Amino acid sequence: MDGVIAPLKDICDVVEKHGAILFVDDAHATGFLGPTGRGSGEHWDVMNRIHLVNSTLGKALGGASGGYTVGDKLLVSMLRNTSRPYLFSNTLAPSVVGAAAAAIDLVDNPVTRKPLLDQLWSNASLFRMRMSDAGFTLAGKGHAIIPVMLGDARLASKMAEKMLERGIYVIGFSYPVVPKDKARIRVQLSAAHSTEQVSYAVDSFIEVGRELDVV
């Protein structure tokens, strides 16, 4: 919710000190964090220190449903045999599996990966820079998820409505999804966005922000 990348190196140190098991939910990192898009573990160069990774076939991989857990063979086997959400779920639709496989191929191929990642981080940098210059308060850093902090739940909802009127689909988050007085609009940049679209989104934020006395 805050666009913050977990300090996995420090967490790994604590885990190893106490002989614990590290489980990482990487849904907001799979496909684009790290030099080859393998997520938070690759970003911090600690992939071999993580016991289990849980992630999604949605979000950066673009699927409508489905996810996965990877890790030690014995741990994964235990989950398959004891995890109620797994035991009582249906098999993924073939179309979802096919789309996810194609998305992973795009991420895994340096020829297709590099321009997509370059565009993503260029979009994120442009959005953060222009929004900060305009006077908005932003959370997080180094991530393509950029929360625009507003504080008031009603204000976040109103701003989201006015952004939608301008063709920008963003969602206002408020308590209990986020802490009280920490309402925000969470913006998720994508490599599919053009520079012009990002600039239009910022222009719309500034226009609405002035209308609602946010900036």
Can you give the pLDDT at residue 87?
83
Contact 8, 24 (CB under 8 A): yes
Give the pLDDT confidence of 180-200 residue by residue, as tens digits.
999 999 999 999 999 999 999
Rounded distance, CA 30 to CA 146, Å?
A: 17
Strand order across the beta sheet in which 183-188 lies = 137-138, 145-151, 183-188, 171-173
Domains and CATH numbers, the chain: 8-108 (3.40.640.10), 111-211 (3.90.1150.10)
Can you give the pLDDT at residue 14?
98
Averaged pLDDT in 10-residue chunks for the chain of 215 residues: 92 98 95 94 96 93 86 91 85 89 93 94 97 96 94 96 96 94 95 96 98 95
Write the DSSP symbol of residue 60.
G
Contact 144, 121 (CB under 8 A): yes
